[in-house]
Amino acid sequence: MWVELGTLHEHRDPNRALLMYSRARDTLKRRKAKVPAALLNNIAALYHKRGFLAQAKKFYIKALKEFGVAAPSAEGELKVPDTPEAEAAMRGSAVSVVYNLARLHEQARILKSALVSGFM
């Protein structure tokens, strides 16, 4: 329910959407359930949009970890494990998270990290 409410508020009221997505995450954590990477990416994107880059980066990295992909190194290198799951993630939704993280680094003027190998 919280995710659906967050989705409804994303464009008109991003602050409310962030609150709804955070409640969804908290509920899942209390139930000891897995928090989907897409939800973490949505939270990160809303923090990013509001200019809270440190919080956004934290959630982008959590989303990548849920996909089984390590965060880019300080040199901007992205290490994707040689597993079918990680490779499938990089052909799907994980690419959005990598792109968003690269844009965050670009915005923060951390250009070396924005040039994620294999993507720029």
Task: Please report, in tens digits, the pLDDT of each residue of the chain (120 residues total).
Answer: 888 878 877 888 989 999 999 999 999 999 999 999 999 999 999 999 999 999 999 999 999 988 888 777 666 667 777 878 777 777 778 888 988 988 898 888 766 555 553 344
Residue-level pLDDT at 58: 95
Calpha distance 48→100 (Å, rounded): 9
pTM exceeds cut of 0.85: no
Calpha distance 97→41 (Å, rounded): 6
Radius of gyration of the chain (CA): 14
- The enclosing H or E element of 24 equals helix 14-30
Residue-level pLDDT at 83: 79
